[in-house]
Amino acid sequence: MFAPLGALSAERLRELAEVAVVERAARGSDPLAAHKDAAHSVFLLHGEILLMYAGGGTLVVVGGMGDGRHPLNRRKAKIERSRAISDLELLTVNDEVLDILVTFDQVASGDATAASAMGQAVRTDARLASGIFSLSNLHHGVFAQLPAARIEQLLERFEQIAVKRGEVVIREGEEGDYYYVIEAGRCQVERMVGGVKVALAELRSGDAFGEEALASKARRNATVTMTTDGKLLRLGKKDFHELLGEPLLQRVGYAEALERVARGAVWLDVRYPSEYRYDRLPGAVNVPLNEVRNSFPVLEPSREYIVYCQSGRRSSAAAFLFAQRGFKASLLAGGLWAAGQGR
């Protein structure tokens, strides 16, 4: 299966099928000529193609096998031209659309290589957030990095709302709009797995939820329903990014990141393993976004980490989660695309 398409859920693949385009190219043609500098990835479904690289060197790619599992036009070496050895069938997918689908799927459902659908749901941290955003903790830990005025603004902009038992606070698949802290009461976290509603956790006073959808600009990865009457504190998307998201996301350009790595920082690749194996940066450690919370006990808090993905979308969510736990983690600005490594 193609990477990273093979890691997508059936639902995401159906969405992708609606926007992907199948093209055919005749034997002897240069099928990639029309795709130079295009903002989409080209996969070889069927046939054989010869890739000729700038500066010399060639590669024969067979559809669905070996190098044929990866985009033809997303290789480190620049392709000067190509030639169809046989009649070809190609699949083109908009890069932005693909990255959004992969981000949502990875945040929502865990590693697709899990042994079962139930395993996907329960192998990750059951809560949607670490709970560190409870008001009693705002002046401690990682939030000590924020200026006092910023914390005061946070306290001022949190809006208190009353909620009733049975009320759905956030719904899986919807756009993220608020970040929540439970002031009083309890709620249940549920996720649809294989068409079955799975209860993941019960959240209580002091717990928080909803930051992943805001930090990664993905959709909600679960449904949260009140099991008692209660009170919530919520922070709007704009305030979240201004007062929490952006201050905790320390962006770094590719050149500076390389210098930091040379001084001992570690690359953290938060993409799927299939993407990581194909074009990871030298020395990078693979910590898929859905496994970030599981990595906290094994990563060294004293080390500096540079977090990256393709576009910066998944790595934004990961870097935010690391920052909450006090890790010194910087975000590779714009991801591999901006660094000229992923396109």
Q: CB neighbours (10 Å) of residue 41?
A: 24
Catalytic-role residue among 51, 101, 309, 331: 309
Torsion angle in degrees (nearest 10) through CA of 240, 241, 247, 251: 150
User: In Å, what is the CA distance from 196 to each residue of 117, 193, 258?
Assistant: 10, 5, 45
Say which residues have a Cβ less than 8 Å from residue 325's Cβ, sequence separation at least 6.
Answer: 130, 132, 142, 296, 301
| Token pair belonging to 114 | 């899990």
Say which residues have a Cβ less than 8 Å from residue 247's Cβ, sequence separation at least 6.
Answer: 145, 146, 150
- Quick one: DSSP state of residue 175? B
DSSP track, 224-280: EEESS-EEEEEEEHHHHIIIIIHHH-EEE-HHHHHHHHHTT-EEEE-S-HHHHHHHP
Strands 208-209 and 187-193: what pairing? unpaired
Based on the residue annotation, tell me whether 187 is a catalytic residue of this protein.
no
Which residues are catalytic, by number? 309
